[in-house]
C-alpha cells in the first residue's frame, strides 16, 4: 500500500505544485472539473443509456399525468404507482455505475484531504500530538521519548490516558518548519511529519501501523512498530476562499465536479 499511496501522492503533488502560483481554489476547481469529466466517462462505460432514457421518460410521463389529472383520484393513484416504479428502476440502473466509481472516488478524496483539508500549525500556538498504543501496552512502562526539530518546542511531559491507550504531548512551533518528530519507542525510532507556518502544502493526517488502514489514511509510510498503532497531530481545518466566502474544500469539489458533469453530459452522450 505504501507504493500505491506514494504514486498517488506524487502525482497529486505535481499537480498541486503546478498551481502553487494561484489561490488553492484554482487548482481544486480544475481538478474537480476533470473529475466531473472522468465521472461522465465512467458512467457512460458502465451504464445502460437506452434503458435509463426510457425510465426517465416514464418518470416525466407520470409527473405530467399527476399535474393534468390532479382532480381525478383514480388517475392520480395510478400515476403515483407508476412514478414509484419508474424511480425504483432508475435507482437500480444507476446503482451499477455508482458502485464502479465509489472506490476510486473515495481513494481520490482521502488523498486530496492532505492537500486541501488541513492547514499547517500556526506559529507560536500550542498543538497536541497523540500516540495511540496497542492493547499490549503497559501504562506503567517508561513513556516514549519525543525529539523535535529546533523550530518546535515540546512544552509538556508525556500525558498518559490508560483507558484510551494514548500518550499525548503539547508542542509549539516557534517558526515555520517542514520536518519530523522522532519518537523513541522500545529502542526503535518512529517518525512523524510535522508542518507549521502559513504556506499551504501537503499535510498528512494520522499515520498508522496497518497496511490496510494506510489505504484510507495515506500520506506517510506505515509505522514499523507493533507497540504504536497510530500517531496524529491535530492540525487546523483548511478552507478555500471563493469571492470572500470560505468553503469546505469537499463541498466546493463536489459542486464543481457535478456542475461540469451536468454541463458536458450531452457532449459525452451520457444519460444521468
Per-residue pLDDT tens digits for 245-272: 999 999 999 999 999 998 998 887 777 7
Structural domain harbouring 112: 2-117+245-264
Confidence at residue 1, expressed as pLDDT on a 0 to 100 scale:
65
My answer on whether 111 and 12 are in the same domain is yes
- For the chain, how are helix, strand and coil distributed in percent, rounded to 5? 45, 20, 30
Task: For residue 240, tell me if it sits in a domain.
Answer: no
Task: For residue 41, tell me if it sits in a domain.
Answer: yes
| Average pLDDT, consecutive stretches of 10 residues, N- to C-terminus, the chain (272 residues) | 80 89 93 93 86 86 81 81 87 88 90 94 96 89 92 95 94 95 91 93 91 84 89 95 92 94 85 76
Task: For residue 270, tell me if it sits in a domain.
Answer: no
Task: For residue 269, tell me if it sits in a domain.
Answer: no
Confidence at residue 254, expressed as pLDDT on a 0 to 100 scale:
94
pLDDT digits (tens, 9 = 90+) for 167-198: 999 999 999 999 999 999 988 899 999 999 98
Task: For residue 169, tell me if it sits in a domain.
Answer: yes
Task: For residue 238, tell me if it sits in a domain.
Answer: no
Task: For residue 94, tell me if it sits in a domain.
Answer: yes
Number of domains in the chain: 2
C-alpha–C-alpha distance, residues 259 and 118, integer Å? 25
C-alpha–C-alpha distance, residues 238 and 253, integer Å? 14
My answer on whether 33 and 81 are in the same domain is yes
Task: For residue 227, tell me if it sits in a domain.
Answer: yes
Amino acid at each position: 500500500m505504501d507504493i500505491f499511496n506514494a504514486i498517488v501522492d506524487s502525482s497529486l503533488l505535481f499537480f498541486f505544485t503546478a498551481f502553487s502560483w494561484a489561490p488553492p481554489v484554482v487548482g481544486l476547481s480544475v481538478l474537480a472539473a476533470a473529475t466531473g469529466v472522468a465521472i461522465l466517462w465512467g458512467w457512460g462505460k458502465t451504464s445502460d443509456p437506452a434503458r435509463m432514457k426510457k425510465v426517465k421518460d416514464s418518470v416525466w410521463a407520470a409527473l405530467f399525468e399527476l399535474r393534468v389529472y390532479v382532480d381525478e383520484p383514480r388517475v392520480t393513484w395510478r400515476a403515483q404507482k407508476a412514478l414509484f416504479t419508474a424511480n425504483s428502476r432508475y435507482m437500480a440502473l444507476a446503482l451499477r455505475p455508482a458502485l464502479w466509481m465509489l472506490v476510486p472516488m473515495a481513494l481520490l478524496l482521502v488523498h486530496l484531504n492532505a492537500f486541501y483539508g488541513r492547514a499547517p500549525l500556526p506559529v507560536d500556538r500550542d498543538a497536541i500530538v497523540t500516540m495511540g498504543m496497542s492493547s499490549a501496552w503497559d501504562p506503567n512502562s517508561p513513556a516514549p521519548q519525543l525529539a523535535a526539530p529546533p523550530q518546535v518546542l515540546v512544552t509538556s511531559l508525556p500525558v498518559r490516558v490508560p483507558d484510551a491507550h494514548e500518550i499525548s504531548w503539547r508542542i509549539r512551533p516557534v517558526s515555520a518548519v517542514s520536518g519530523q518528530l522522532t519518537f523513541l519507542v522500545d529502542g526503535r525510532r518512529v517518525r512523524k511529519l510535522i508542518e507549521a507556518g502559513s504556506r499551504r502544502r501537503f499535510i498528512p493526517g494520522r499515520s498508522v501501523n496497518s497496511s490496510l488502514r494506510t489505504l484510507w489514511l495515506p500520506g506517510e509510510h506505515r509505522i514499523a512498530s507493533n507497540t504504536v498503532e497510530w500517531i496524529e497531530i491535530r492540525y487546523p481545518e483548511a478552507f478555500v476562499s471563493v469571492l470572500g466566502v470560505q468553503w469546505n474544500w469537499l463541498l466546493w469539489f463536489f459542486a464543481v465536479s457535478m456542475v461540469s458533469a451536468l454541463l458536458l453530459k450531452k457532449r459525452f452522450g451520457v444519460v444521468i
